Amino acid sequence: MSVPLMVQAKSPSDGRRLRLTLAAVIVVALIGFSAFATGRLTGNPGTPSNTSAEAGFSRDMQVHHNQAIEMSMIVRDLTDGPDVRLLAYDIATSQGNQSGQMLGWLNSWGLPQAEAEPSMTWMTRPPITGGTGHDGMDMDDTDNGIVHEPGAPMPGLATAEQMATLKTLTGLEAETYFLELMIAHHQGGVLMAEAVLERSSERVVVDLATSMAKAQTSEIQLMNDMLAERSQ
């Protein structure tokens, strides 16, 4: 003989509590959906925009780095000089790694790799309050008085003619010309790094730009010494 199940009836207060709980869940869900939709439409607060200094620096510095990598690979085929070959290898590997990081930033920010405006436009914009140079000093001037024009060549970038000339040289001549080009290239890279430090407080950008400026300043001194040795 089966025993009937006893079902306990819910009191009116239980029903009211259930309805209030369901209503609260629905409100929370609606708020969450609204926040998600707003984020999709407007972007997350604090994420660099498509025309920000961070985005412009990431794109332009990749181009700048890629030429340094190309020059380094060219000179390694033109000379047996161990010090120049080692320097070229270090530049190629370090700047290749940094280019990858900057591409990663754009992807994480949901921004395209393609330029949103003429190159170097970001360097025409005024510094932000509290921007810092690579030595940590406050930077209130605009790129040390240097005027930049949107679409103008990046500072220190070698011309097509200079790259072609490098490929025609060998031995000591190739080493000397490479050092001359790379010193100017690094000087332009330091200028760009310091410019973004004046215009950004984005932690990853500040950290990498600071590292770039310090490393390339040190390499400029090294290359000047190497160039002096070859002129004796």
CA distance 148 to 41: 33
| Rg of the Cα atoms in the chain | 28
pLDDT digits (tens, 9 = 90+) for 120-148: 999 998 998 654 444 433 333 445 555 67
Predicted pLDDT at 232? 82
pLDDT digits (tens, 9 = 90+) for 15-68: 554 454 444 444 434 433 333 333 333 334 479 999 999 999 999 999 999 999
Say if residues 119 and 150 touch (Cβ distance below 8 Å). yes
Predicted pLDDT at 133? 44
pTM: 0.75
Q: Indicate if the pLDDT at residue 192 is higher than 50.
A: yes
CATH number corresponding to 48-230: 1.20.1260.10
More reliable by pLDDT, 107 or 33: 107
Instruction: Work out the average pLDDT over 69-76.
Output: 98
Tokens of 201: 């407080």
Q: CB-based burial of residue 31 (10 Å sphere; 0-12 exposed, 13-18 middle, 19+ buried)? A: exposed
Q: Indicate if the pLDDT at residue 230 is higher than 80.
A: yes
74's enclosing H/E stretch is helix 53-76
Predicted pLDDT at 43? 39
CB atoms near residue 204 (< 10 Å): 14
Predicted pLDDT at 140? 37
Backbone angles phi, psi at 156, to 5 degrees: 85, -5
31 residue type, one letter: I
What is the rounded average pLDDT for all residues in the chain? Answer: 81
Predicted pLDDT at 193? 97
Minimum mean pLDDT range among 16-20, 74-78, 134-138, 199-203: 134-138
pLDDT digits (tens, 9 = 90+) for 151-191: 888 999 999 999 999 999 999 999 999 999 999 999 999 99
The torsion region of residue 96 among left (phi > 0), alpha (psi -120 to 50) and beta comes to alpha
Predicted pLDDT at 93? 97
Instruction: Work out the average pLDDT over 190-212.
Output: 97
